[in-house]
């Protein structure tokens, strides 16, 4: 015997068409490293950049070189602090 036409058969049926929209994660305006690799990279950048910048200041090298090294150190410090803050926000 067949089911009557007015009643749909039981069980899951697959939908036709595109999947339903999902909730998107909020847009982050600042980058935060999601793994320990970013934290280590930031630490190495900050130590090497700041030490190199101080040495360049003491040696009296060109201003662009000194500012570049100090900029790398500051960027590394920002990445490291961002990684620490992201770690404590997850906990």
Closest CA to 87 of 36, 24, 22: 36
pLDDT > 70? residue 82 = yes
pLDDT > 90? residue 74 = yes
pLDDT > 80? residue 53 = yes
The enclosing H or E element of 75 equals helix 63-90
Q: Distance (Å, rounded) from C-alpha 40 to C-alpha 72?
A: 14
pLDDT > 60? residue 31 = no
Q: Distance (Å, rounded) from C-alpha 54 to C-alpha 32?
A: 27
**Average pLDDT along the chain:** 78
pLDDT value for 44: 92
Percent share of the chain, pLDDT over 90: 31
Q: Mean pLDDT over residues 66-77, rounded?
A: 92
Predicted confidence (pLDDT) per residue in 9-30, tens digit? 666 666 677 766 766 655 555 5
């Amino acid at each position: 015997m067949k089911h009557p036409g007015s009643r749909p058969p039981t069980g899951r049926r697959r939908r036709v068409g595109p999947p339903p929209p999902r909730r998107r994660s909020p847009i982050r305006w600042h980058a935060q490293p999601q793994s320990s690799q970013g934290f280590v990279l930031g630490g190495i950048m900050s130590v090497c950049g700041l030490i190199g910048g101080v040495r360049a200041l003491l040696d009296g090298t060109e201003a662009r070189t000194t500012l570049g090294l100090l900029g790398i150190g500051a960027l590394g410090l920002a990445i490291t602090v961002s990684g620490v803050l992201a770690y404590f926000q997850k906990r």
